[in-house]
Every structure is written in structure tokens, then in C-alpha cells.
Amino acid sequence: MPEIASGPPAIHDALLKHTGFLISRTGLVAQKQFAERMEQLGLTTRMWGALNVLDAEGEITQHRLCTCTGIDPSSMVATLDELEAEGLVERRRHPNDRRAHALHLTDAGRERLARGRQLARVAQDELLAPLTDEEREVLHELLLRLVRATREVAGKAPDAISAEPAPVASG
């Protein structure tokens, strides 16, 4: 009886020539590894994304956060409710618009985000372990180019995706 190798299931040769399939397959693996890490902190990938944008942007409206993260408004409400219940984000009256709330990252939110970034770095390093540092940078730049092109094809302004090459984040 042949021995069955452990680890991820093999991919048939007929699929290896299809770049879209390989990207999709790798994306599923990356998402699973990332989600498992964030789960250790009681975060979802949406929550982690929102915390990162709030940390970078400071006080912003919920609408702006949706635009920056690409999360639809109804999902964002649920995400913010969870973050607020955990004490990671606060909704306050917007100083210039009575109808809007300004979102604020709390100290607890910053601490959880810092721990999340460490775990994200571990997941990324595991996923990209077969690549050299140079190959990782090239992959990052190519993925950014695809993301920008995809947004343009979808008819969305690439405002949340800078035209400047971003440094390769380690988490």
C-alpha cells in the first residue's frame, strides 16, 4: 500500500499551469493561516483590517473606514459593534458633522493590534518561507499592481491604494 504524504493535498499537474487557480489556492491557504492566528486574539480578518486603518488614519467616519477597507457598510456596522463591545474602538460624535460618528482606536485596541501584527508576521513568514527576501518584495509589488488594476477594472477609484510603492510589511 502506497504511503500517503502528510501536509496539503497535492495539486494535479493539469492545474499547475493555471495562474488564476494557483493564486486562488494560495489565497485560501493564506486566509486560513491568517484567520487562525487572529482567532487567537478574538479578532476576525475584518476586525484586524479595521484596526489597522484606524491606527493609520486616526479619527475617521464609518463611511471613510468602509471606503478604506473595502468592507460593505452592513458588515462594517457588525464589525464595529464587535470592536466596540471588546473595548477596542469607540464611536464618538463627529466634531464637524452631527449625523456622523468619529471612530477612535482605544489603548486596548492598539495593544490588541500590536499583538495581531506579530501574529500576522508569523503567518506571512510561514506562507512565504520558500521565497527569498528579494522574491518576497517582487511578489508584493506584483500583487499591488494586480490589486490596482482590479480596482480600476471594477470602476472603483484606487484612492485607498497609493500609487507609491508601499514598503513590504512584515505583518
Evaluate whether residue 23 is within a structural domain: no
The predicted pLDDT at position 27 comes to 94
Number of folded domains that form the chain: 1
Give DSSP secondary structure letters for 86-144: TTSEEEEE-SS-TT-EEEEE-HHHHHHHHHHHHHHHHHHHHHTTTS-HHHHHHHHHHHH
* CATH (domain of 149): 1.10.10.10
Residue 140 lies in a domain: yes
111 belongs to a structural domain: yes
- Does 36 map to a domain? yes
| Residue 13 confidence (pLDDT) | 86
Measured CA distances, 132 to 67, 110, 127, 138 (Å): 33, 31, 12, 10
pLDDT band at 140 (very low <50, low <70, confident <90, very high): very high
Asked, for residue 113, whether it belongs to a domain, the answer is yes
CA angle 64/46/67 to nearest 5° reads: 20
Please report whether residue 97 resides in a domain: yes
Give the tens place of pLDDT for each residue, 5-64. 455 567 888 888 999 999 999 999 999 999 999 999 999 999 999 999 999 999 899 999
Contact 86, 124 (CB under 8 A): no
Question: pTM of the prediction?
Answer: 0.78
Q: How far is CA 124 from CA 17, 24, 102, 103, 127, in A?
A: 24, 16, 32, 28, 5
- What pLDDT is attached to residue 95? 79
pLDDT value of residue 94: 80
Chain-wide mean pLDDT for the chain?
86
What pLDDT score does 53 carry?
Answer: 96
Which has the minimum average pLDDT: 2-16, 90-104, 128-142, 153-167? 153-167
One-letter amino acid identity for 47? M
56 lies in which domain range? 30-154
Output DSSP code: residue 167.
P
Task: Pick the more confident residue, 154 or 56.
Answer: 56
Tell me whether residue 10 is in a domain.
no
pLDDT tens, 20-30? 999 999 999 99
